[in-house]
Amino acid sequence: MGTEHKLLVVDDEPVVCESCERIFEDQGFDVQTSTNSVHGLELATREDYDAILLDIRMPQLDGLGFLRALRERERNTPVIIITGYASVPNAVEAMRLGAVDFIPKPFTPEEISGAVSRVVVLPRPMEQPAREAVAAIPPVPGETRFAGEAWLRAAPDGTVKVGAFLSGVESRTVEDIRLPHVGEYVYQGLPLAAVVLENGRSKLVPSPVSGEIVEVHQDVRERPERVWDEPCDQGWLARIRPAALEAEAAEACPRTVVLVTTDESRSAGLRADLTRLGCVVRPARTAEEAVAAAGAGILALVDASSLGAAGPDLVARLNDAVPQAKVVVVRGSGRVDEAAYRARRVMYYAVEPLRRAELLDILASAFRPALPRPRSRRAGVLPVDIRAIRTVDREGRRIALVAPAGALREDEGLGCEILDTLGEYGRPVHVVLGARPVTADVIEAEAKDHDAVVVLQPTDMGRLAGSLLRQLGSAVLPSTSSAPSCVVTLKIQTGSDPSGPLALEPATTRALADWIIGEMTSA
């Protein structure tokens, strides 16, 4: 499978489409363009793109209408707004609809390339599976760390509290939440809870650590409207006894916000709000200090009123030195050259007082993780159901993964993710296609030829789709079998169609594939 990234550019100005095409084709992207927003929306809902570059002001269907329709069709493609008509209402609405960046026209190739590089999911390292985590310093008690939109905070007794960080608009539409049960074992990256929003939409919360649930926070179900304004305090979901916190700590990091101001008294309230929302605040007064501090994070809040005429140049220097930084300008009283700031690329322009919901939207947008694009392969004439995947680990042991009929497919979903990830890691792979039930005879036959057998068992455990339960041996093997010592069964909670292939959200699919491959390489 190729690694070429796909971009869609939707802008009624042909010159903008052509410019983006030249910029990104030179970087190896597959670029598709449309000067008709209705046609562009059809492309966006029919094809898979790594990112969409979208104009705001267009005939027939404007950019906000485009983005709203895209989200209603449950397409989570990252969208970068490019426009010559930037305004505070536009920025607020675009962020609430999930836009990940806001680039004013005219833009330079470096500015638009920098915006795309912040959201495109690049190929993962090939050296080792994600489960073989790099050693990292575990969080100290009281420190808040984030893994995407989930957070964790270590306690002195060795447990960790975990929770979710919702945007302002999401926090106002929470209707219910589905929590795990005490005693359940959860895996890092796989579902911990599900937040039910208006119209029945569900937002999965992945667990930032692996371990046993020792307590759940029932108040988030009984009084959800009272907890989400303080997501890192009242909004915790469960307490977990972690199994490998030090090894998994590399996947969770603090949220660093650089606060650039020369007026300490005016920034005190904002610093306190950011700290309550789990952020580490680094103060800066000059461009040099801002650049040095921004190396630890991706969000800079710039106090335009206190910086005066020096503010726009400071933002320009910050963007040049730290391209991945996202800049939010906060304006209080006094004269501020808004146009000068927008010409130097800012993600958001806010006017004080900065409301809590607005601050939640800013943080959710700035730190929103890039969504993995579902993998797919072109279907051929052979059957696409996978019966078994066989590989060899680093010690030369032969490993077999066996799956029941219909659970894994070669051309999409979890099966495709497992095959492509094994290929990225340079593992030799032999795929057996076809459909068959996983019987005792099948497992014993694989055990005769392999050093370890991993049995995939989709089942309804009453948990969130994609949840995992690991068991030694297999229930289908007789007690007299000699195979159980080398057999591991991975029970996976099925989705809406228990009899079909495992159809899960892209992020869950990727995390589950990593855990299955980790099991195959360490079985």
Of residues 239 and 412, the one with the higher pLDDT is: 239
Closest CA to 312 of 330, 334, 337: 337
pLDDT band at 89 (very low <50, low <70, confident <90, very high): low
- Average pLDDT rounded to a whole number, residues 410-429: 82
pLDDT band at 127 (very low <50, low <70, confident <90, very high): very low
Is the distance from CB of 131 to CB of 247 less than 8 angstroms?
no
- Supply the DSSP string of 366-415, one letter for each residue: HTPPPPPPPPB----SS--BEEEEEEE-TT--EEEEE--TTT-BSSBHHH
Closest CA to 264 of 254, 256, 272: 272
- Average pLDDT rounded to a whole number, residues 165-194: 90
Angle between helices 356-366 and 264-276 (to 10 degrees): 70
Of residues 262 and 338, the one with the higher pLDDT is: 262
- Average pLDDT rounded to a whole number, residues 490-519: 84
Closest CA to 101 of 366, 373, 372: 366
Tokens, residue 491? 């029970």
Of residues 98 and 310, the one with the higher pLDDT is: 310
Q: What is the pTM of this model?
A: 0.73
- Average pLDDT rounded to a whole number, residues 39-65: 90
- What pLDDT shows up at residue 128? 36
- What pLDDT shows up at residue 351? 83
User: 197 φ, ψ to 5°?
Assistant: -100, -175
pLDDT band at 388 (very low <50, low <70, confident <90, very high): very high
| Residue 96 scores a pLDDT above 60 | yes
- What pLDDT shows up at residue 238? 96
Q: Is 84 exposed, middle or buried (0-12, 13-18, 19+ CB in 10 A)?
A: middle
Q: Does the bond joining 139 to the residue before it have cis omega, within 30 degrees of 0?
A: no
User: 135 φ, ψ to 5°?
Assistant: -60, 140
Specify whether the backbone of 265 is left (phi greater than 0), alpha (psi in -120 to 50) or beta: alpha
pLDDT band at 346 (very low <50, low <70, confident <90, very high): confident
pLDDT band at 135 (very low <50, low <70, confident <90, very high): very low
pLDDT band at 92 (very low <50, low <70, confident <90, very high): low
- What pLDDT shows up at residue 2? 43
- What pLDDT shows up at residue 381? 47
pLDDT band at 507 (very low <50, low <70, confident <90, very high): confident
- Average pLDDT rounded to a whole number, residues 198-215: 90
* Averaged confidence pLDDT in the chain: 83
- What pLDDT shows up at residue 123? 42
- What pLDDT shows up at residue 87? 56
Strand order in the sheet with 279-284: 279-284, 255-260, 299-303, 326-331, 348-351
- What pLDDT shows up at residue 196? 87
- Average pLDDT rounded to a whole number, residues 105-133: 60
Q: Which single residue is written with the structure tokens 């069709």?
A: 73
Angle between helices 287-294 and 311-321 (to 10 degrees): 30
Q: Is 215 exposed, middle or buried (0-12, 13-18, 19+ CB in 10 A)?
A: middle
- Average pLDDT rounded to a whole number, residues 212-232: 83
Q: Which single residue is written with the structure tokens 């076809």?
A: 434
pLDDT band at 383 (very low <50, low <70, confident <90, very high): low
Output the CA angle 272-273-279, nearest 5 degrees.
90
Closest CA to 252 of 323, 325, 189, 340: 189
d(CA 252, CA 237): 17
- Average pLDDT rounded to a whole number, residues 170-178: 86
- What pLDDT shows up at residue 42? 92
| Residue 245 scores a pLDDT above 90 | no
3-class secondary structure, 200: helix
Domains by residue range for the chain, with CATH: 6-117 (3.40.50.2300), 144-251 (2.40.50.100), 255-366 (3.40.50.2300), 386-522 (3.40.50)
| Residue 121 scores a pLDDT above 70 | no
| Residue 402 scores a pLDDT above 90 | yes
Closest CA to 492 of 445, 444, 459, 449: 459
Of residues 226 and 324, the one with the higher pLDDT is: 324
| Residue 260 scores a pLDDT above 60 | yes
Of residues 176 and 114, the one with the higher pLDDT is: 176
| Residue 362 scores a pLDDT above 70 | yes
| Residue 423 scores a pLDDT above 80 | no
- Average pLDDT rounded to a whole number, residues 116-145: 60
- Residue 127, C-beta contacts closer than 8 angstroms, at least 6 positions apart: 425
| Residue 90 scores a pLDDT above 70 | no
pLDDT tens-digit series, residues 3-17: 468 999 999 888 788
What burial letters (b/e) apply to 455-490, b meaning 16+ CB within 10 Å? bbbbeeeebbbbbbbeeebbebbeeebebbebbbbb
Tokens, residue 86? 């930037």
